[in-house]
């Protein structure tokens, strides 16, 4: 996994496809059990407007499963809060001048490429006609470019944060700290003796000892 993250960062500036970067980030989130991050990556890869309109079961099921994991691990209130926070982060990357671009990152990139090609093809048109016809797609090109840039930057921030965690010795996502904290709280409340054993097991796992290996 460290090598996967390192390669993703090393190749980041060479990648022309934002959707490919999103898929790389999603793979790392899945491997590190970063369920909160998985929600953000899942939202980036689906057509929100299409799912609402056509009720696509596969897309809805994926997000419902992720939300279910968050609720199971953190409880209804906190799990829902974490899910909503990731949805808000997704919306922040997709909004430009008050307009939400709700298609999948693949669709946005494809649309931008098509508009850009059509715009470039106008080079052979008479100047006056070209100016008249070129004025229309410019705002859309700008909006889609900025949205993709925001998504790209967010993926980069995620990869950098992941690299920092891995270099500090954390093989799994920081998100699991919230899970362990909830388990500790529940055990302290309902089974104090088990709580002591659970904390000891966490310490052994953190040390990377032989006993910890057998518990994985």
pLDDT, position 195: 56
Eight-class DSSP state of 157: H
Whole-number Å distance between alpha carbons of 170 and 164 = 9
Nearest to 151 by CA among 96, 99, 85, 98: 96
The answer for residues whose C-beta is within 8 angstroms of residue 148's C-beta and 6 or more apart is 18, 105, 108, 109, 112
Please state, in angstroms and rounded to a whole number, the distance separating the CA atoms of residues 7 and 132. 45
Question: How many whole angstroms separate alpha carbon 170 and alpha carbon 193?
Answer: 27
By three-state DSSP, how is residue 44 classified? helix
Instruction: Quote the pLDDT of residue 56.
Output: 44
Distances (CA, A) of 119 to 3, 51, 116, 141: 40, 30, 5, 9
> Which residue ranges in the chain fall short of pLDDT 70?
1, 49-59, 122-136, 194-216
Q: What pLDDT is attached to residue 129?
A: 60
**What pLDDT shows up at residue 196?**
61
Domain boundaries, the chain: 2-172, 174-216
pTM for this structure?
0.79
């Amino acid at each position: 996994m460290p090598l996967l993250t390192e390669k993703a960062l090393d190749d980041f500036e060479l990648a022309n496809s934002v959707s490919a970067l999103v898929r790389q980030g999603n793979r790392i989130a899945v491997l590190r059990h970063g369920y909160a991050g998985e929600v953000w990556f899942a939202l980036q890869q689906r057509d929100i407007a299409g799912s609402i309109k056509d009720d696509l079961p596969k897309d809805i099921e994926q997000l419902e499963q992720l939300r279910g994991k968050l609720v199971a691990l953190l409880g209804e209130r906190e799990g829902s809060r974490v899910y909503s926070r990731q949805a808000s982060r997704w919306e922040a990357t997709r909004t430009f001048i008050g307009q939400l671009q709700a298609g999948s990152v693949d669709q946005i990139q494809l649309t931008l490429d098509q508009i850009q090609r059509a715009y470039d093809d106008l080079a052979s048109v008479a100047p006056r006609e070209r100016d008249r016809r070129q004025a229309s797609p410019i705002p859309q090109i700008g909006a889609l470019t900025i949205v993709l840039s925001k998504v790209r930057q967010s993926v980069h921030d995620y990869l950098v944060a992941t690299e920092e965690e891995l270099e500090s010795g954390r093989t799994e996502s920081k998100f699991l700290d919230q899970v362990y904290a909830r388990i500790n709280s529940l055990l302290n409340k309902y089974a104090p003796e088990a709580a002591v054993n659970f904390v000891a097991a966490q310490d052994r796992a953190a040390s990377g000892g032989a006993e910890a290996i057998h518990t994985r």
